[in-house]
Amino acid sequence: MDLDLIRQLTIPGDTKIVLAVVDGLGGLEHPETGRSELEAASTNNLDRLAQDSSCGLTMPVGYGITPGSGPGHLALFGYDPLRYLVGRGVLEALGIDFDLQPQDVAARGNFCTLDGQGRIVDRRAGRLATEQNVALCEKLRQIELPGVQLFVEPVREHRFVLVLRPNGSGDLSDKISETDPQREGASPLAAQPLADDAKPTADLVNTFIDRARAQINGSKPANGLTLRGFAKQPKIPSFPETFVLRAGAIAAYPMYRGLAKLVGMTVLPTGSTYDDEIATLRDCWDDFDFFFIHYKYADSAGEDGNFDAKMAALEAFDKAVPNLQELGADVLMIAGDHSTPAAMAGHSWHPVPFLLRAKYIRRDDVDAFNERACLRGALGTFPTSEVMPLAMAHAGRFTKYGA
Amino acid sequence: MDLDLIRQLTIPGDTKIVLAVVDGLGGLEHPETGRSELEAASTNNLDRLAQDSSCGLTMPVGYGITPGSGPGHLALFGYDPLRYLVGRGVLEALGIDFDLQPQDVAARGNFCTLDGQGRIVDRRAGRLATEQNVALCEKLRQIELPGVQLFVEPVREHRFVLVLRPNGSGDLSDKISETDPQREGASPLAAQPLADDAKPTADLVNTFIDRARAQINGSKPANGLTLRGFAKQPKIPSFPETFVLRAGAIAAYPMYRGLAKLVGMTVLPTGSTYDDEIATLRDCWDDFDFFFIHYKYADSAGEDGNFDAKMAALEAFDKAVPNLQELGADVLMIAGDHSTPAAMAGHSWHPVPFLLRAKYIRRDDVDAFNERACLRGALGTFPTSEVMPLAMAHAGRFTKYGA
């Protein structure tokens, strides 16, 4: 739904909305049993909740489109994921809790192995040990460039984040081409300006690359680097202002805190487990109208291609469902940002099971919470970006449209 | 569907289409029985017709959006309700059968009670008796303003309609702010121009308000007034021209006649009951290709929060279904403009049961006409503005798209 229309319809209220996101929730059948992770898992609490909810399946971006974490979450927060895009550099910076500023340009860096002629022989430098990554980043931090402050932050293995922050009123562009040739045997490319005003930034980046090569020349296994996904923070309208909701975000993983911060939610300090997250939810209950609470482990297990681990992660989530329910939200939703079938060991385009529990729900015949059962749901298969408008309606926070 | 595409696809024919609208058709389950109004009602004729139809659920405006009567009907007539909006003043004028002209500006008025300082103490003047309203409107008709003709028409209780009609070639603007402060304890606001060319109209409105206050000063309980929803008739492409259909509208309630007139349908004189409406349908059968016939009582009962009365209204409609069928329309549709669940005592955002009976329908497993059964319908859940394109196709009035 158009954000202007959302603003026009929104009225204040004292109801509470909980959006519980199970990362990578949807799956596919196991080739031997014909049952998906959700169908195979023992999830009595979710099944009972589904019987008492309106169910459906959400489509994050479009038919056949496999979303990254950014589009998956932006859609859940009510934004058109084709209009608002979070660049790779920014997402990587959010993923390490880096305090990105609006004028910063961030890029994802890879350490790689170059041969004597400067050609890439290993794009990931053998997935070098994170400690070596840390030591290399220390070296790169020695580099100074005119007019900008540099940040070089290790992620893990061969991955790091480069952030350029302009001094004073300086302005940088993120319209810069990637330096990763995406294949071995080729040399890293020079960064090219992709817009008229991007040349000064491209020059800075190329200077950085030259000095970096000098700093780590002779290191093993990583003696080179590539940069991609140059990006600034996208300009996204504020979630709390658009929906007139005091919005709190609870996530143990930094990337999801970062995505919530990007749309203006208040990120609540929490611990590293889902029990910690629920304790935070309980502690902050009175201070917010809307909570985004993130459960990561279904996605991790799916990404590993581990069907049993994903089942176990879903069962662990299921045990926490009564704790979510007992807080008495006016609107409780269980949703996913995308599917992560263990059979595919990665994200997929398949629609994601969804349920919404509230007072004025339309009933359906869904008796279990899984991909197949949700097909019979009252909400049908619908765009993920409509989750928030539905929540607002069920929370009594939308007024009538037209006389 | 885009109206240009509709025009492009439309071919003439001699088939007949009946769109039977049950106002507020959709509902929600009764908290004690778990059955909705349609599920609880005995509607054998509708159920049998549903078995012989393609069924589905229509979404009037969008996910979570509760439509007013205007958007609900415009969508049924094939118009994008987000693009074509009927202002409150116009709708109120239509609702009393006022013969609105294209250059008129209409507003909804409320009589209110002011204290000695001119502050509102009752926004509805205790919902004053309609006879008192009529008397007050008589007084306000004494007012004369330069360059415009004034109409002050009582609606009922505290509500009236003000219409300004420019003399000769004069032009008025409807970009005028509301004077209702929307709360008690505040004074009515002055009308403000909301566009560069709206000041003359705002000045006229404020002069009217001053003179009106003088006219009714000392009256009890209503000694003040507020105005809102200033609006001209929207420019809506003609329904008969767009669809190449001689279109007749049959509605006992004036607002629905007005909406049909707004899109260029021929409004057929009829009586006050649904039997009268069906008699009109029969009498005019040969003269039109398309009929919109409106049944009001399901909505009224839903608005009253009266589950049993809504059930009874649906059962009364069901008795008339064979009379609708026996005319032998090539396409017969039973539709609603929106849901009005008795549980909510008002319009709601929930999709609305729909059926279409024609020769070349796709069959489904729907065995009863209600919210839950229609979820299994061949038409799925779809935008209400696609009802007319579906009707045109089933009536053999759409040609092939592309070679």
A285-331 pLDDT, tens digit each: 999 999 999 999 999 999 999 999 999 999 999 999 999 999 999 99
Query: What 3-state DSSP class applies to B344?
Result: coil
- Sign of the Cα pseudo-torsion (A387, A393, A399, A401, in order): positive
pLDDT at A169 over 90: no
| Amino acid B20: pLDDT | 98
Q: How far is CA A395 from the centre of its chain?
A: 25
Chain B positions contacting chain A at CB under 8 Å are 28-29, 34, 61-71, 81-82, 85-88, 91-92, 229, 341, 343-344, 347-351, 371-372, 375-376, 380-381
Confidence grade of residue B274 (pLDDT, cut at 50, 70, 90): very high
| Amino acid A95: pLDDT | 87
Please give the C-alpha separations between residue B400 and each of A288, B1, B8, B81, B390, in angstroms, as whole numbers: 54, 15, 10, 26, 13
Q: How far does A32 lie from chain B, in Å, by closest CA?
A: 30
Spell out which residues of chain A touch residue B29, defining contact as CB-CB under 8 Å: 363
Q: How far is CA B218 from the centre of its chain?
A: 36
3-state secondary structure chain A: CCHHHHHHHECCCCCCEEEEEECCEECCCCCCCCCCHHHHCCCHHHHHHHHCCEEEEEECCCCCCCCCHHHHHHHHCCCCCCCCCCCHHHHHHHCCCCCCCCCCEEEEEEEEEECCCCCEEECCCCCCCHHHHHHHHHHHCCCCECCEEEEEEECCCCEEEEEEEECCCCCCCCCECCCCCCCCCCCCCCCCECCHHHHHHHHHHHHHHHHHHHHHCCCCCCCEEEEEEEECCCCCCCHHHHHCCCEEEECCCHHHHHHHHHCCCEECCCCCCHHHHHHHHHHCHHHCCEEEEEECHHHHHHHCCCHHHHHHHHHHHHHHHHHHHCCCCCEEEEECCCECCHHHCCCECCCEEEEEECCCCCCCCCCCCCHHHHCCCCCEEEEHHHHHHHHHHHCCCECCECC
pLDDT at A15 over 90: yes
pLDDT at B169 over 90: no
Average pLDDT over residues B241-268: 96
The closest alpha carbon to B251, from B273, B219, B229, belongs to B273
pLDDT at B127 over 90: no
| Amino acid A403: pLDDT | 86
Distance CA A42, CA A131 (A): 40
pLDDT at A97 over 90: no
Average pLDDT over residues B25-31: 96
pLDDT at A27 over 90: yes
Confidence grade of residue B95 (pLDDT, cut at 50, 70, 90): confident
pLDDT at A249 over 90: yes
Mean pLDDT of chain A: 96
User: Where do runs of H (alpha helix) occur along B250-369?
Assistant: 254-262, 274-283, 297-303, 307-326
As a whole-number percent, the residues of chain B with pLDDT over 70 amount to 100
Spell out which residues of chain B touch residue A398, defining contact as CB-CB under 8 Å: 64-66, 349
Q: How far does B34 lie from chain A, in Å, by closest CA?
A: 9
Of the candidates A376, A382, A392, which has its C-beta nearest B375's C-beta?
A: A376
Confidence grade of residue A107 (pLDDT, cut at 50, 70, 90): very high
| Amino acid B182: pLDDT | 87
pLDDT at A50 over 90: yes
| Amino acid A168: pLDDT | 87
Query: What 3-state DSSP class applies to B345?
Result: coil
Distance CA A12, CA A289 (A): 10
Residue of chain B nearest A390, judged by CA positions: B64
Mean pLDDT of chain B: 96
Confidence grade of residue A264 (pLDDT, cut at 50, 70, 90): very high
Q: Is B64 close to A391, i.e. CB distance below 8 A?
A: yes
Please give the C-alpha separations between residue B174 and each of A95, B139, B147, B191, in angstroms, as whole numbers: 51, 24, 16, 11
| Amino acid B371: pLDDT | 97
| Amino acid B403: pLDDT | 87
